[in-house]
Amino acid sequence: MVTVEKLTKKLHTRLVATDKNLPQKLQQHLGGSMSDLINRAERFARVRHEGQFRKGKAKEPYTNHLVEVAALVERWSGSESAIAAAWLHDTVEDCPPTSVTELESLFGKDVADIVAELTDDKSLPKADRKKLQIINAAKKSKEACLVKLADKTSNIGAIANSPPEDWTLDRRLKYIGWANSVVGQLPYLPKDGLSEFLKRCDQAELNAYDDLGSVLSLIHI
């Protein structure tokens, strides 16, 4: 198993630029091989997430995140159910009244079970939910591991390229560290998936310090 310590060491020894055009490239790749199940999951997710935007300063439509997560799962040889679950992974958590029961009735038990594995209990405080993500990561199925890794990879890319405007350097670095803690506990990590995650962590960390340097230089002008 890849340990958090090993992940952190790689973070500070490797620096590879993130491909900012990855979502568009992967969407084109995904478009040529989508099954009926995946198509239906995409349509459902787009409707349920309509009007939602990412927290970053670019204010991208939230569906851009889903496009990337689903495409990464496919690139890492995820099953049809895993790719469908990638589209749906935030619907129960962020799109009430969506439920696991509804997803099972529409997309089958396999897809619904993966989404259930990935859904936080939003009745709990945010700090508790974040701790539970680390604790529960080790129990994830292979399919849920792929979606979780893709989700964290996409989120880290967003932190690198379009972080929320009110996030301080400390908050950005803490998010990177927490994401490493979650990923480090996953029992299944494809090599190319882990490599992509680490590349984006490197870039997110570098960009955070670069942004701080830019702010400090303006203060001293």
- Residues designated catalytic: 93-94
The number of beta carbons lying within 10 Å of the beta carbon of residue 83 is: 29
List phi, psi (to 5°) of 79: -70, 170
- Name the nearest CA neighbour of 68 among 161, 192, 145, 153: 153
Q: What is d(CA 207, CA 57) in angstroms, rounded to the nearest whole number?
A: 14
Q: SS3 for 109?
A: helix
Element (H, E) at 62: helix 62-75
The answer to whether the peptide bond before residue 97 is cis (omega within 30 degrees of 0) is yes
Q: What is d(CA 88, CA 151) in angstroms, rounded to the nearest whole number?
A: 12
Q: What is d(CA 27, CA 215) in angstroms, rounded to the nearest whole number?
A: 35
Radius of gyration for the alpha carbons in the chain, expressed in angstroms and rounded: 17
Residues 6+ apart with CB under 8 A from 172: 159, 163, 204, 208
